[in-house]
Amino acid sequence: MNSMKMTEQSTEQRERLSALMDDGLTELQARQLLRDLQESEPCREVWQAYHANQAALHGAPQVDVLAGVNAALDAEEAKASYVSEVRHSRWIGFAQGALAAGVCLAGILALWPLAGQSPQSGPDTVTTQLPPADATAYLPRMDSYWSRHAQFATVRTGGRWDETERSHGDDHGQESSL
């Protein structure tokens, strides 16, 4: 806790923060103070300190998981954002998960048109970035590319595998193609 920042908060502001902890403000006051809290780091530090002291008064363990929570949520959002972008790609199949390791590779594709995106590229602007040698972490978002490859690579005549039929509701037990 930075004591300079603490003192930067007026006594009145700190009293309101104390009251906010106890839901002791009117809704209007609470809304304004919460906005300050969201936007002011010194204000947040006072809030954090009061809560830490409160926990200590009760003999509770001290933790600070905010950074960890945010790192995890940032990573999730980045991934979701990427997946969302890729979903607009016509290359993605609706097959997202491998059914059995080493067996199921090829996605069965539903083609979605790209939503009007057409990045501008020209010979003068293209720079190539290749992965570093150790960039081997597993990324689930790449499943669609694996699927796409197997969909074509296992056809000898230059075609593709497409899903043409599946069981529905009560007609399970369909005869196989044999």
Partner 1 sequence: MKDRLWRLGLHLLTAILLVPGVQAAPDAGTWAETLLQNSRQADYNGTIMVLQGNEQQAYRLWHEGGDGEFRERMRLLDGPEMEITRTPDRLTCVHAPGSEVPAEHDMPASPFGSLLQIEPEQLQKNYRLTEEGEQRLAGRQARVYLLGSRSDSPRLHHRVWVDTATGVALRHSRYGHDGTLLTDVRFVSFEPELGDAPAEIRSSFPQAFWHQFEESGARQRAGADDVWQLDPIPDGFVRQVEEEQDGEWYQLWSDGLVEFSLMVEPIVGVAPEPMTEQRGSTLLMSAVHGDWLVVLVGDVPEPLARSILSDISWQ
Partner 2 sequence: MNPAAVTHTADLVNSAADAAAPAAASEAPAVTDRILVARVQAGERRAFDLLVLRYQQRIAALAWRYTQNSQDVSDITQEAFIRAYRALRDFRGDSEFYTWLYRITVNVAKNHLAAQGRRPFTTDIDDPTQVWPDRMQVEPGPAAEHEGSELARVVQRAFADLPEDLREALRLREFEGCSYEAIADLMETPVGTVRSRIFRARDAIDRRVQAWRAGETVALDERD
Q: Which residues bind partner 2 (CB under 8 A)?
A: 1, 3, 6, 11, 14-15, 18-25, 27, 30-31, 34, 37-39, 44, 47-66, 68-70, 72-73, 76
Upper half-sphere CA count for residue 170 (Cβ side, 13 Å): 0
Site size toward partner 1, by CB under 8 A: 79
Question: Does 83 interact with partner 1 (rule: CB under 8 A)?
Answer: no
Question: Does 123 interact with partner 1 (rule: CB under 8 A)?
Answer: yes
The interface partner of residue 49, options being partner 2, partner 1, none and the CB cut-off 5 to 8 Å by kind, is partner 2
Question: Rg of the chain over CA atoms, in angstroms?
Answer: 28
For residue 107, which of 90, 127, 92 has the smallest C-alpha distance?
A: 92
Q: Which 3-state string (H, E, C) describes 24-90? A: CCCHHHHHHHHHHHHHCHHHHHHHHHHHHHHHHHCCCCCCCCHHHHHHHHHHHHHHHHHHHHHHCCC
The interface partner of residue 53, options being partner 1, partner 2, none and the CB cut-off 5 to 8 Å by kind, is partner 2
Distance of CA 169 to the CA centre of its chain: 33
Residues 90-109 that bind partner 1 (CB under 8 A): 90-91, 93-108
The interface partner of residue 4, options being partner 1, partner 2, none and the CB cut-off 5 to 8 Å by kind, is none
Closest distance between partner 2 and the C-beta of residue 118, in Å? 28
Question: Does 50 interact with partner 1 (rule: CB under 8 A)?
Answer: no
